[in-house]
Amino acid sequence: MTFHTPVLVSGAAGFIGFHLSKKLLEIGCEVVGLDNMNDYYDVRLKQDRLKVLQSASGFRFFQIDLTDKTSLDELFKKSAFKTVINLAAQAGVRYSLTNPYAYLDSNLTGFLHVLEACRHFPPDHLIYASSSSVYGANKKMPFSVHDNVDHPLALYAASKKANELMAHAYSNLYHLPTTGLRFFTVYGPYGRPDMALFLFTKAILEGRPIDVYNFGKMKRDFTYVDDIVEGIIKLIPHPPAENGNWNSQQPDPATSFAPYQIFNIGNNKPIELLHFIEVLEEKLGKKAIKNFLPLQEGDVPETYADISELEKKTGFAPSTSIEVGVEKFVNWYFAYYKIKK
**What amino acid positions are annotated as catalytic residues?**
156
**Which amino acid, one-letter code, is at 16?**
I
- C-alpha 77/C-alpha 75 separation (Å) is 5
- C-alpha 85/C-alpha 105 separation (Å) is 18
Contact 286, 208 (CB under 8 A): no
18 CB-near residues (< 8 Å, 6+ apart): 12, 49, 50, 52, 53, 190
Q: How many residues does the chain have?
A: 341
Q: What one-character DSSP code corresponds to residue 305? A: B
User: Which H or E element spans position 16?
Assistant: helix 15-26
**Which amino acid, one-letter code, is at 141?**
M
